[in-house]
Structure 1
Amino acid sequence: MYRQRDGAGEWGSMAAGFKGNYIRAIGILLLLAAAGRALAQEVQAENVTVVEGGVAEINCKFRQNEGSTVVIQNPHRQTLFFNRDRALKDDRFQLEEFTQKQVKIRVSNVTLEDEGGYFCQLYMEDTHHQIATLTVLVPPDNPLVEIKEQAVEGHEVELNCIAPRTKPAATLRWSRDRRELKGISNKQESGKTFSVTNTVKFSVDRKDNGAIITCEATHPALKGQKKQTQYVLDVQYSPTVKIQPSQGVLREGDGLTLTCGVTGNPLPSKIIWSRLNETLSDRVEIHGDTLNIPSLSMLDNGTYICSTSNKHGRASDQYVLVVYDPGAIIEAHTSVPYAIIGGILAILVFLVICVLIIMVWCSVRQKGSYLTHEASGLDEHGEAREAFLNGGDSHKRKEEFFI
């Protein structure tokens, strides 16, 4: 029994010793961690983000650097400043501030090559350093808009919106009349920058000619602003032709001018005047889209044709010329205007329809009244027939009854 108690005492002593060593180890680790934090706090550095071409400030803060050496290095580990002395001959780097607590460096006209980690190093009994990361943003310029092929009516058009150089990649969107057009976006990386393309496709017709399509780019460096480019659609289509006469009814001796209104894209440059199955009179004057006959005669009667074409098709229009003698024209002018005649006819038709409706209504009403009277007088008719057969009533009474 004594040995058992002695053995238990030995195990207790060993456990107590192990526990004490464990506690001391934990304490040492905590002290080392605190020392590490203290060493880490000897130097502090701030990360910086700047737009390409802008100005960046790199700050290195020290707990104390009295009697110590301060060295600032760029991402390529080239020394920029050794204490107050410039080490790298680059005037874009300027020492703005040098105190026991802080060193501030100003970098102007920042480029992508300046991006990376800047080392703030403090040489005391021990060496301490921190890294200030410089991030350079590259915003997009106004995007470029390119068309793959000429837009033609009835076909599909393909437009590309391009932001050739951004960092990070810009976001591109298409819109028309403030409504978004769905496109397909693609980006390619080139070194530290990206080239972004957004492609949109849609069918077009002639009414789309002149429509404005907008491509806009958004980017973190723009701070909510947008860069945009507008593209005016140029849709080509076949021509249309419409002849407009200078006046309506024509008589001998009057002058006539026909104007050929032409549309199309590209706009036809050549207009051809002709006369159906006949040649144009020598008195006809043609000036581009106008045909003029100074003094009409019966011989000018006929069908006049204006035709034109472009690379997408042909079009023509006809005008039938009828020349009246002066008497017919005077009678036509003294007659009642066609609009008044039409109005009078419309009123007459309306009145006839109303009369017919009233007649039908009265006929239906009269027929219904007769049937009702006939049904209610069946007994009286029976009595009248009986009286007639019996001969009990005079002729006058018979007439009165039937009436």
Structure 2
Amino acid sequence: MRAAGSGGHRPGGAAALAAAGIVALLCVAGGARGQEVQAENVTVVEGGQAEINCRLHQYDGSIVVIQNPSRQTLFFNGTRALKDERFQLVEFTQKQVRIVLSNARLEDEGGYFCQLYTDDTHHQIAILTVLVPPENPLVEVKEQAVEGGEIELTCIVPRSRPAAKLRWLRDRKVLTGISSKQENGKVFSITDVLRFQVDRKDHGSIVTCEATHPALRGQQKQTQYVLDVQFSPTARIRPPQGVMREGDTLLLTCAVNGNPPPTKITWSRANDSLPERALIEGDTLTIPSLSMLDNGTYSCHVANKHGRSSDQYVLVVYDPGAIVEAQTSVPYAIVGGILALLVFLVICVLIVMVWCSIRQKGSYLTHEASGLDEHGEAREAFLNGGDGHKRKEEFFI
């Protein structure tokens, strides 16, 4: 006996896969003729097409029988024996017997017998393996996610063989879930559960469940889930630009954010009612022909089932001839104060530097004067005959 080769014709079409290996055992018919038969293992995707090859060596015309895993005869010397049109004999020569199986099913999986009848009956077995690729994963959410709470996502692949592998992705980062597997006959059901905390910034972001499987040939099956996180609303009034004067039109917009979105926006004025000519359209409050009687604090109020929010705008209406600094001058006042502080700090640093310089110079002159006095006294004592009782005078500059 010798090892079988790995050659052989591969079936066309995207559904068929290459031979996965070759059975090592070769059967040799007795006698000097040395007839041999070889069979190749085959892997196919469910619903695809598979080839079952029986290679003949030194074939002398003996009987060749092909049987399915249930030991039912498919072909007897080239003649169909089983009425299953999915099996077609496409080649019968002195070198090879080739059968094509279309629309492969899980029940087709098993060992196919290539039998050569001589003085003794010998056979070779081709193992057919059927893969079941996963469909797109199903992503389910346990309950509505709310800001500050936890979300639980479940990814399910109900049918695959062998079992598919699942993983979660978010912003190209892999998230770790808890995986479980259940066997249903020849196929597997895979489930992966992911839990994590959510905030309002997570609303609208995408989480992906990805399935990999040998039958996908390096590709993946993916399902994306858009996070739906509910949170309390926020309100912000967009104020008008510049100063409001008598006769102008006030236009205030209440920008709202919340999930679920607030269905109603309410406008009010502190300690007073809205002007009769005020017009409310959705998130906008309009007051035409302003007067000083319209002065006050205006507010917009919003709410959803998770909370409430409001914002205020103080309206000051000026006389048309009044000279008033625009509201945009406020930041310049802040900048001016910062610059004044910097100038003050620089002046303080200069004062300290000058003071230190004067101190150092005074100390130097004091030591220098002291040295001159000592030399002067010695000179005077020498000229006056060594009178050393004269009081020493000190000078401080």
TM-score (norm 1): 0.79
How far does the alpha carbon of each residue in 1:174-230 deviate from its partner, in whole angstroms, 9 at most, with x for none? 111111111121111111111111221111111111112122111111221222222
Q: 1:364 aligns with which of 323, 335, 356?
A: 356
Please name the residue that 1:223 is paired with.
217
Residue in 2 aligned with 1:105?
A: 99
User: 3-state DSSP class of the match of 1:47?
Assistant: strand
Give the residue type in structure 2 aligned to 1:272: T
1:150 aligns with 2:136: no
Matches of 1:160 and 1:40 in 2, distance apart?
Answer: 60
1:77 aligns with 2:57: no
Q: Which of these two proteins has the greater Rg computed from alpha carbons?
A: 1
1:274 equivalent to 2:239? Answer: no
Question: C-alpha displacement at 1:61, in angstroms?
Answer: 3.0
Q: Which amino acid aligns with 2:346?
A: C
1:363-390 residue CA offsets vs partner (Å, 9 max, x unmatched): 3322332233333434369959x99xx9
Q: Which residue of 2 aligns with 1:165?
A: 159
- CA deviation after TM superposition for structure 1 residue 343, in Å: 5.7
Give 3-state SS (helix, strand or coil) of 1:279's partner: coil
User: What is the aligned partner in structure 2 of residue 90 from structure 1?
Assistant: 84
241, 263, 268: which is aligned to 2:257? 263
Q: Alignment partner of 2:272: what SS?
A: coil
Q: Say if 2:331 is the partner of 1:312.
A: no
Task: Select 2:286's aligned residue among 292, 301, 314.
Answer: 292
SS at 2:359's partner residue?
helix
Note if 1:301 corresponds to 2:295. yes
Q: What is the CA–CA distance in structure 2 between the aligned matches of 1:66 and 1:334, rounded to whole Å? A: 108
Residues 381 and 274 (structure 1), Cα distance of their counterparts in 2 relative to 1, 3 Å cut: farther
Are the counterparts in 2 of residues 42 and 128 from structure 1 also a CA contact under 8 Å?
Answer: no
* Deviation of the 1:264 alpha carbon: 0.7
Provide closer, same or farther for how the CA distance between residues 77 and 347 of structure 1 changes in structure 2, counting only shifts above 3 A: closer
1:186 aligned partner: 180
The alignment status of 1:141 with 2:130, answered yes or no, reads no
2:117 is the counterpart of 1:123: yes
Cα distance in structure 2, aligned partners of 1:336 and 1:77: 93
% of aligned pairs identical? 65
Distance 2:133 2:396 in 1: 111
AA paired with 2:354?
Answer: C
- Distance across 2 between alignment mates of 1:383 and 1:205: 90
For structure 1, the residue ranges without an aligned partner over 5 or more in a row are 1-32, 391-398
Q: Deviations over 1:103-156 (max 9, x none)?
A: 211101111111111122233332222221110011112222111112221111
1:342–1:318 CA distance, 2 compared to 1 (3 A): closer
Q: Give the Cα–Cα distance (whole angstroms) in 2 for the partners of residues 62 and 196 of structure 1.
A: 43
Letter in 2 for 1:77: R
Counterpart AA for 1:151: A
2:250–2:290 contact (8 Å) kept in structure 1? yes
RMSD: 3.3
Partner AA of 1:69 in structure 2: I
Q: Secondary structure at the match of 1:104?
A: strand
Cα contact 2:35–2:60 (8 A) shared by 1: no
Q: Rate the CA distance shift 1:275–1:219 in 2: closer, same or farther, 3 A.
A: same
Change (3 A) 1:41 1:189: farther
Greater share of helix: 1
Structure 2 match to 1:29:
none
Aligned-partner residue type, residue 372 of structure 1 = Y
Residues 223-274 of structure 1 deviation map (CA, whole Å, 9 limit, x = unaligned): 2122222222111111110001223321222110110000011111211111
1:319-358: CA deviation from partner (whole Å, max 9, x where unpaired): 1112222233xx1159995666666665555444433433
Q: Matched residues in 1 for 2:326 and 2:274: separation?
A: 33
How far apart are residue 100 of structure 1 and its match?
3.6
Structure 1 pair 381–266 and aligned structure 2 pair: CA distance change class (3 A) = farther
TM-score, length-normalised on structure 2? 0.80
Aligned 8 A contact 1:56 1:106 in 2: yes
Distance 1:263 1:324, change over 3 A: same
Cα distance in 1, alignment partners of residues 125 and 185 from structure 2 = 23
CA distance in structure 1 between the partners assigned to 2:88 and 2:336 by the alignment: 97
Distance 1:249 1:171, change over 3 A: same
Distance 1:104 1:231 in 2: 47
Unaligned runs of 5+ in 2: 1-26, 385-392
Q: 2:201 matched to 1:213? A: no
